[in-house]
Structure 1
């Protein structure tokens, strides 16, 4: 029997403490219950943007919903909304230092410091995230990998609190390259890599808000040295019908629809994917996974996809 990895991926949940519209953690709790019923053996991947306004209490509560659900394994990353904080002002354009009120547009190492008081949300979120990683995966690093049934799942993670893009250190880029090389020496199975941001110039709307970030070309260069990679991302809020799986020189690029109402495509909140990965095939089954208002899950058969690796 061919080895198989099965996982749910949910992304861009954008929960708020008291949403007048949109998602709360009560919706997430229902979605998680449905996932556990549909595929009890599937692990869970979260692609980031748990929150909209970097609300630390909402973020921590949502992480504990996932931890308490009993998934066999869990892999996750941070999104820009988790780390950037609130805008806190009326400015419409960045100033000369790259600030849009309390949002940082780009990282300037000669002047920017993570100790800046405007980065308090970053410090709170990363502390909670690292504590959670220690609890479920045994290590506090922002980026990292897990092994499940002979498959490896790597997470890229931003190391700076930017408004839209991610920012990866040279250490993280070296880790990515060395990790892929080491895995390939011992296994030919597909490797899963998750990122909040899509690589620039790939999926529809992947260039918006500056695209992936400053290290986009370096990540592409590293991935291009390998093959059979499945690169999963969210961030751009494409709905079903617009979110696609694309072929790349190194493998497959998967645009995962947002759980919150997408900007384009099928205008339906409450979506995640159930993926089945083997050495030769990736099957994606999109589900309406439930909300507090509509708690019953259902498979969206017309959007199922099967691709060769």
Structure 2
């Protein structure tokens, strides 16, 4: 048995299998992968470019949109280039350090993204419940500080994940049935005791998804209470319309992630390629649709984007 165990003198290399059961179709699957990646980059870089160029958009809401775009670019860039190397060239190997680095930056982007959604909910709360003081409460400097706090929280929560994984023993050349180093997928192929890793995974889920969803929910309770106090239905509709884009982004960001977690832990009868599709759904959908949603629902941004597109 010792021949199959990892020793300190042997550098560990994981094998990323790709999509379990669909290996023969990797070339075809790479087409939507690369297409979605390019669309995501173009859409999010367009938001960053337009907001940077237009001084009229140098406002807290658009600064938050830029933060959101940066996290989404980071999320897909952590995953897609390596996945395309697997699909196109069969480069399935990834070192232990490479795997842990990919995992760290992926979950760092996820946790920061979640914190930004909470800040955006607070932005909508102030805009609806205290509009006269909006400019004094939410300045660009304050938004930047809130974004930094979210980033620091993400680093502190995510950093133990690769450190805890590094202490685990792995069999030689362990096979990961995925296109990227998903935490629980890597934990399951360990030869050692993974209870600490599994418990800490629950801690992270509670401290990010659980806490952030609770804060967003409480914020919208306060928003709805304030809206119901308005006298006219037209005022109700105008106030709620300002929240539609954010609510849509929240649903698209959290629903696939929560469903993926539930099926990963309890869906033993679900085929492996379904787990894969769910995991990638949560990675691809928000970066593609979020810029479109805010572009459609935010007239000021829509007009500026249209202006630059017409110039091309």
The answer to whether TM tops 0.5 is no
Q: TM-score, with normalisation over the residues of structure 1?
A: 0.28
Q: Which has the higher helix share?
A: 2
Q: TM-score, with normalisation over the residues of structure 2?
A: 0.28
RCO higher in structure (CA 8 A, sep ≥6): 2
- Computing the radius of gyration over CA atoms, which structure comes out larger, 1 or 2? 2
